[in-house]
Amino acid sequence: MESLQIRRWNEIPPAEEFSCRIEKSNVPAVISGCVRLWKAFSKWDVSNGGLDYLQVPIMNMGKDEKVQLECLREDIETPAFLEGKTLASVNLWMNNDRTRSSTHYDPHHNLLCLISGCKQVTIWPPSATPFLYPFPLYGEASNHSAVPLENPDFRIYPRGKNLDEYSQKVILHAGDALFIPEGWFHQVDSESLTIAVNFWWGSDMISGMLEHMDSYYLRRILKRLTDKEMDQMLCISTDTADRKVINSCGQSTHENSDLDMNHQTASLKGRNPEKSFMMNELEPLALQSLHELVSLVHDCVKPEGNSSADPSVIQEENEVKKIVYTNLFDLKEDPIANFIWTLEPHTFQNVFLTMAHNFPRTLEAFLLHALSPVGSEVLTKKFEQLDQMIATNEQGQFYQKFYSVFDDQFSAMDAILGQKELFACQMQLAETRSQNPDGLGFESHRLAIYV
């Protein structure tokens, strides 16, 4: 660990010295006084009117006042030792109360420059990854630790008992800068009223990488390999898109379906009257797609109860029976996932909003009982496509409507992420086997899950 200790530089290093002695060592370093000559160091000082200076509007109906933060760019300087680096971004960080960040790593080199206030940064090398329990590699926060450091439960995270052995703490004062190499986990505690700027830039993949970077880069490599495998799995022929519509007249055989009959009335309560999701307002293609999706879900998930009972009345406590398909990791073997994959984002949005409103139990059955591993991958990719096409507020409305069907929204999210993780593991194993035909795939796969 001695070779990984945070280093302190009392003078600003030249660019060549920074690259050779600091950046390539992949060890954090504090550079004292790095930002004291910036205009921001005096203008942004919260003890000397800095907050008044920084009150720029985020919306302005007039035309004579700037509204972008670009006006602050002249107050900061890119450190000379970063000359020649291709910066990914420059970010402003402000807080008006004591805050603590999550424990995470960044996929870029990071230079955190403190302009006003004081911060304490706790840092762990990438070799401490097993003790930090990062979220699943293909989850939404794979670079974040799952361990709540304020109150860790070592029954759930037993390896977390060793975290203190790997951590280092450093106090940053106004004017200091901290170099955090990519892949190093860190948590930042800020006192009230702090202002900082950070620079992110990509690193070189050097051949003489120290061992403490192994687990970090293995996660990066595995992600790249399995992303490739996933894309191949989801690459279907264009003729599949020319799907057969089961009822060209647009008449659904499931409009009064067993799963939803008792819930259609309840689903209308508490909804936004300004937004209607009635089926007769759907475009023909979206209506046909809704009919087919409902039919597919009902073919896959059968209500299990008294067969002699009135089929239009299925009690809430009745369970459902899932038809198991041959290969839940193959898109062609999953008719529901295959169908959803063909939907354009706009049609996908309208189908699921209307489904949530008119067929809530069918949507519930789809997510909790009929969603396969490949189906979860398809669903999340469709979410990503939709997010790229609609505004943030519309995204919020869509997901609020989608998850409102479930009594426990977290269980619904867990169902998606759980199946997605199974799919990722299968693709990971398939890639490992293709790279190791001599039978070494299992051990490599186990290692991938560990890191």
135-186 residue pLDDT tens: 876 666 788 999 998 888 988 889 999 899 999 999 999 999 999 999 999 9
Give 123's Cβ-side CA count (13 Å radius): 28
Are both 168 and 274 inside the same structural domain? no
**Which stretch of 105-109, 201-205, 290-294, 350-354 has the lowest confidence by average pLDDT?**
201-205
Q: Is the residue at 233 inside a domain?
A: no
Residue 306: is its pLDDT beyond 80? no
H-type helices in 234-283, by residue range?
Answer: 264-267
User: Which of 28-42, 78-92, 320-334, 432-446 is the least confident region?
Assistant: 432-446
Do 267 and 326 have their domain in common?
yes
The predicted structure's pLDDT at residue 185: 95
pLDDT-based confidence at residue 435 (cuts at 50, 70, 90): low
Q: How far is CA 107 from CA 5, 202, 203, 354, in A?
A: 21, 8, 9, 39
Question: Which residue blocks in 302-391 are alpha helix, DSSP H?
Answer: 335-341, 345-358, 360-365, 373-389
- What confidence tens digit (pLDDT) does each residue in 410-422 have? 888 888 888 888 8
What contacts 24+ positions apart, CB below 8 Å, involve 383-388?
Answer: 385/345, 385/348, 386/345, 386/348, 386/349
The answer to whether residues 183 and 279 belong to one domain is no
Do residues 160 and 263 share a domain? no
Q: What is the pLDDT of residue 150?
A: 86
Q: Please tell me whether residues 297 and 159 are part of one structural domain.
A: no
**Could you tell me whether strands 177-180 and 194-201 are parallel, antiparallel, or unpaired per DSSP bridges?**
unpaired
Select from 202, 227, 251 the last residue of a domain: 202
- The total domain count for the chain is 2
Give pLDDT, residue 79: 93
Q: What is the pLDDT of residue 124?
A: 96
Domain presence at residue 23? yes
Q: Which residues have C-beta within 8 Å of that of residue 375, sequence separation ≥ 6?
A: 328, 334, 336, 337, 340, 419
Asked if residue 6 has pLDDT above 70, the reply is yes
Domain with 198, as residue range(s), is: 2-202
Are 331 and 236 spatial neighbours (Cβ–Cβ below 8 Å)? Answer: yes
Same domain, 289 and 184: no
The answer, yes or no, to whether residue 208 has pLDDT greater than 70, is no
Highest mean pLDDT among 179-183, 212-216, 249-253: 179-183
Question: Do 191 and 283 belong to one domain?
Answer: no
Shared domain check, 189 and 311? no
Full-prediction pTM beyond 0.75? no
76: nearest Cα among 180, 173, 199, 172: 199
Q: Give the Cα separation of 41 and 175 in Å (integer).
A: 7
CATH number (domain holding residue 182): 2.60.120.650
Query: Which alpha helices (H) appear in 258-359, and where do they start and end?
Result: 264-267, 284-300, 335-341, 345-358
Q: Pick the more confident residue, 52 or 256.
A: 52
> Is residue 362 within 8 Å of residue 257, measured between CB atoms?
yes
Tell me whether strands 87-95 and 99-100 are parallel, antiparallel or unpaired: unpaired
- 51 and 189 in a common domain: yes
Does residue 260 lie in a domain region?
Answer: yes
Measured on CA atoms in the order 96, 100, 102, 103, is the torsion positive or negative? Answer: positive
Is residue 398, in this structure, part of any structural domain at all?
Answer: yes
- 24-33, 402-411, 432-441: lowest mean pLDDT where? 432-441
Upper half-sphere CA count for residue 396 (Cβ side, 13 Å): 3
Residue pair 15/84 in contact (Cβ under 8 Å)? The answer is yes
